[in-house]
Amino acid sequence: MVTLNLARTGLSGKLKRSLLCLSSIQELDMSYNELGQLPELSCNTSLRILDLSYCQFQGEIPMSFSNLTHLTSLTLSRNSLKGSIPLSLLTLPRLTFLNLFDNELSGRIPNTFQISNNFQELLLSHNKIEGELPTSLSNLRHLIHLDVSSNSLSGKIPDVFGGTTKLQTLNIDSNKLEGPLPNKIPGFQKLTDLGLNDNMLNGTIPPSLLSLPYLVELDLSNNRLTGHISISK
């Protein structure tokens, strides 16, 4: 495997598409540079790991990133990317790690997750994403970490976690969720960390939520919850 690390090298100007298309490179880290705009791609590459965080990228994520079919890890965090999340990005066949943290992405999360998806970590926090969580999240059978906090997600907490039986951390805090807390969800059985704070959730706290076997941290602060706390044995 050939690795090229150009992180923190003071690069500036336009990122050359030819660099992403080099057939020999499988890991490329260009984080912490000043690169401006993501290029359109017209090639098939062997890239598996790509880190373009902290590069001051603006504009939208090109649809042509769907050509990166060998990617297992893509990091575009801490940029100024706008527009919606491309549907094709969420259907890359080998992608297990996607980090879009802290951009200006908007619109809804595409309802396009397939059972064949291999996502283990999906980090979409600190954007401007709206709407409800997509129902196809239930297809992510390998998902371990999901962070969609600090967005503008709305509606009730949907029953979309029945198939996410490996899920360990779930952060949906700092959104606009409302309605009651879910009672029993099979996909929560391995949760260690659940963040639902800073929403508009109401009703009582289900005892089943407080008795999840591996739960270490539960944050329900700054909601509209009422009633008594009852822990089932």
Spatial distance between the Cα atoms of 81 and 54, rounded to a whole number of angstroms: 11
User: By percentage, how much of the chain surpasses pLDDT 90?
Assistant: 77
Residues in a beta bridge with 60: 82
> Please, which residues have CB within 8 angstroms of residue 232's CB and are 6 or more apart in sequence?
207, 208, 210, 211
Q: Indicate if 94 and 126 belong to the same structural domain.
A: no
Q: Are residues 151 and 47 in the same domain?
A: no
pTM here is 0.94
Q: Which three-class secondary structure state does DSSP give residue 18?
A: helix
In this structure, is residue 113 part of a structural domain? no
> What digits encode the pLDDT tens for the residues 30-84?
999 999 889 988 787 889 999 999 999 999 999 999 889 999 999 999 999 999 9
Rounded CA separation 106/109 (Å): 9
Instruction: Tell whether 112 is covered by a domain.
Output: no
User: Is the same domain home to 225 and 197?
Assistant: yes
Residue pLDDT, tens place only, 124-175: 999 999 999 999 999 999 999 999 999 999 999 988 898 899 999 999 999 9
Number of domains the chain contains? 2
Whether 114 is in a domain gets the answer no
In three-state secondary structure terms, 46 is coil
Which pair of tokens denotes residue 105?
A: 């992405």
180: pLDDT confidence band, cut at 50, 70 and 90? very high
Question: 164 is in which domain, residue-wise?
Answer: 122-131+139-233
On whether both 97 and 7 belong to a single domain, the answer is yes
